[in-house]
Amino acid sequence: MEVNEQLIQAITKAVVEQLQRNGGKSPAGVSSANAGTQSLAGKTRMRPKHSYEGAERARQGTDPKEVVIGVGAAFQTEITKTICGIPLDEVIRNVKAGIEEEGMVSRVVKVLDTSDVGFMALAAAKLSGSGIGIGIQSKGTTVIHQKDLYPLTNLELFPQAPLMDLTTYRKIGRNAAKYVKGEKVTPIECTNDPMVRAKFQVKAALMHIIETEQLDPEKGMIVWEGTR
């Protein structure tokens, strides 16, 4: 099956129409706050815009042992689980644990100026004192990046979020830390299923819409310590 922009738009339109008929119920892992009590009819957004009033802008790191983890705009707020149902709190906990197991330190920021995981990871890497960063979309797709690489020329990419588990996220943290130390890194083996994209296309499209509509470029990247 060929998947293109027109097909994604058609699928998304059909799903939104179905949500309208179902009273606006959310896909699994999407916060039910302000949702499920009224129809989407007449709305221009999937979710109300989250306020980050008073949030602290993330600063340039100086610690050479630091790995910055950049998470998506809807991470732990509008979306609380990955596309396969893993709590995002646990995702972050395991990535940080992997970094710390290798003797490095982590810092989490929320990226509010892009929903593209490659650019998120690169922005995190540029902010990191070590030049190594990790980008994690709310649906679970993850990238390890280095500050002096092109956006699409990353260190490691984990595109099939539905097949990832907490062990994989922990390994991602460990590998990112090894890149910081300049050690030889063995790329993480990932399960591959050619049918995953077709199975999760609708849910992925909805989650990406929710993430993208929460962007706030004026805020850029902010300090993030969990749901607020």
Domains (range + CATH), the chain: 1-16+64-218 (3.40.50.10150)
pLDDT in tens, 95-108: 999 999 999 999 99
Q: What is the pTM of this model?
A: 0.83
Q: What is the pLDDT of residues 84-133, one digit of tens each?
A: 999 999 999 999 999 999 999 999 999 999 999 999 999 999 999 999 99
Contact 81, 28 (CB under 8 A): yes
R_g over Cα of the chain: 17
Range 46-54 contact pairs with CB under 8 angstroms and sequence separation of 24 or more: 46/206, 46/209, 46/210, 46/213, 47/74, 47/78, 47/210, 47/213, 47/214, 49/213, 49/214, 49/216, 50/74, 50/77, 50/78, 50/214, 52/110, 52/112, 52/216, 52/219, 52/222
Reply yes or no on whether the pLDDT at 56 is more than 60: yes
pLDDT reading at 3 higher than 60 = no
